[in-house]
Amino acid sequence: MRIMVIGASKGLGRALVDGLSEGNELIGVSRSRPSDLDQHVHWIEADMSEPLRAVEVIERQAPQHLDAVLYNLGIWETRAFEDGYSFLEDSDAQILQMINVNVAATLLLLKRLLPRMLGAAKPQVLLTGSTSGLPQSGRPEVTFGASKFALKGIADSLREGFRDQRLAVTCLQLGYLNTQDGLQTPVEQAARNGEGQLIPLHDVVALVRTLLSLSDASYVRELVLPAIADERF
């Protein structure tokens, strides 16, 4: 399977590249190629904070045929998830940047990549959302929440627009992740380190493997994965 991972240099994106590389052809996309990456992994250097320029770079360098795109990219407010966060203190420039990266870049890139996917046996798009984008999420970060809520609309509309071509579109609504422990850390240790408040990256990778391995007779529309001790859920 030929899989492109957007936002692949660190955290969940890097875990997806590492965890899915066996038996698949991975194409990573980020601002720069990690120095410790397996040389067999194809990499495209593109800065999604400049969406128009980035999608042109990716369009030129991407393979002509793709089976799946994992869009794992999102930025948040400077003081997001802190007690002192206030929407009124967010700068206009920061708000526009979040919408550009989290929403506009997603739309522009998928518009260019979908023609390379629709001929696949089972074309799949996985969008990394957030529990912050769910109704009554309990979070006050306005722009981040709005941008992640938008991903569900993108997923639903793509599904309807390309239903005849059997496009599978899944929105992953993820809670707080333990991004400090990569896949090299045993999952039991990563789970203990999160103290029930953080999700090991291993769990997300395991779910993505399952989603990619489903037959072409089904797909998962939306998946909500909060931490076990998250009081919001």
Domain borders along the chain are 2-225
Question: Domain 2-225 is classified in which CATH homologous superfamily?
Answer: NAD(P)-binding Rossmann-like Domain (3.40.50.720)
For position 38, what pLDDT does the model report? 67
The predicted structure's pLDDT at residue 50: 93
pLDDT at 29: 96
pLDDT below 70 — which residues of the chain?
A: 38-39
User: What's the predicted TM-score (pTM) here?
Assistant: 0.92
Contact 32, 198 (CB under 8 A): no
- Helix%, strand%, coil% for the chain, nearest 5: 40, 15, 40
Please report, as a single letter, which amino acid is at residue 31.
Answer: R
State the average pLDDT for the chain.
94
